Chains A and B, each alone.
Chain A
Amino acid sequence: MKVDLTSPVCLLTKLDDVAWLWHARYGHLNFRSLSDLGSKGMVEGLPVIRRIDQVCDGCALGKLHRTPFPQASTYRAQANLELTHGDLCGPITPSTPGVKSYFLLIVDDYSRYMWLELLATKDEALVYFKKIKTAAEVESGRRLKVFRTDRGGEFLSIAFYEFYKEHGIKRNTTTPYTPQQNGDVERRNQTVVEMARCLLKSMGVPGKFWGEAV
């Protein structure tokens, strides 16, 4: 059977034409407001406009904004190491006496237990991830299942990918430029840095000792 696919034709085009016309005339006002104006008699000379659920190109181009982020995540891990969040923070100046200027922070979603390693360069992330993962797995007797990070180059490297594949770790990455999706670890980053700063400042310890305070 051959089906001719043509562009869909709306049978209520006639009605819609009026709606679209007034939508355009009213400066692309949204249809809910348009229909309110007409139905509640707030203005004169405006026909009652039916609400329609079609997308206006102009509105899509001109009005699209970021979708709001949920206030609380819908999913929480049910056991240790089921889901972990990771992030790299830095470079922090001055570097430590051991020339470390980054830190890798990994948070377990279930227990909120954290691990932190100091890094000299970003490419050391994999080495220290392995270290933390192995230690945590031995400690808890469970396997790390999901590792959620942002799309930092250090987490997307081929070496990292190979490691994920080899150990069957499911990789979750945030949508680009959406650190909100990695909020767990991002917020903790902030807490860690704040605490380190407080510790150093309150006792007048030089900044290069931040590695000891985090």
Chain B
Amino acid sequence: MRAVLTRMGPGGVRLVAALLAVVGVFAVPLVLQSTFTIKILTFAGINVIIVIGLALLFGYAGQISLGHAGFFGLGAYTSAILTTTVGLPWILGLVAGTAVAAAGGVIIAVPSLRLKGHYLAMATLGFGEIMRILFVQLRDLTGGPDGFSGIPPVSVGSLTLETSGADFTLVWVVAIVLLLLAANLGGMRPGRAMRALHGSEIGTSACGVDISRMKIVVFTISAGVAGLAGVLYAHVLGFISPTNFSLNVSIILIAMVVLGGPGSLAGAVAAAVVLSLLPFLDAFVPGVPREVSEFIQSWQHDLYGLTIILVMLFLPRGLAGGMRQLVRWIGRRPSVEGDTA
């Protein structure tokens, strides 16, 4: 197996993985009987989309956002209002939701990324709180604390996604496309510049990269991606309310990115899937009793908080770094006696 993988090279592995993913995206809804399970997997896919954007920000620009639930909500409410209240087609809602969230990103990023350090985190925290307050208080537009209901399902022209299986496919196709884009970004000039940024800001700057502009671009992309996820969320669920976009949601997203590890898209995606599915463990792992899932659900916020702390303390490179260490450790094992290193 290993030999085959080595011969294929990373490009080949990636291609096979992408092919498998595409097959999975269409096959899963056919194989799985339970609508509930498909829905859970769909929401996991939406989390994956947001986390891809956050991982770009964290891994490549060395910044965290405490307000991504705000961008997520901005996308969701923008599209909900435009399609439901105004009556525009979904595709316009999608474009507008993404664009408005990205614009929000620019507004926050331009002033705060000129400053070093923790200011972006705090500015995004403020942004997220303002968004939440607006979602609650602008009752005429958003429905207030009771939420916004009756959002139509995704439709393009005469094609309407009626089943949860179709939603699943749409969400995961978007997730995979974004993942491929983000992965390729890592290898191209902007991606290299971003990684260099995380390594050394001064060094990168000396190489002629405009750091502030780079960071603003990354942040805008990640805000736009969160907005896009919000649009999908609104139309898949049909109902949104301010609690879906609270600070807790932003922190859970951070837990996913941190668990994944900085600079690793694969790790972030894996962490997003694991943490999204964990509260519904019994639906995915045979033999796990319902009580276990109920226990996890009741303690999930404690778990997320603890995860963040433990990963930062003991696994600062996240799941991805942990896996690499494990592989190295297993590989090294046999020669331990003869090798003092």
Q: Does A associate with B in a complex?
A: no
B interface residues, Cβ below 8 angstroms from A: none
Chain A residues close to B by CB (< 8 Å): none
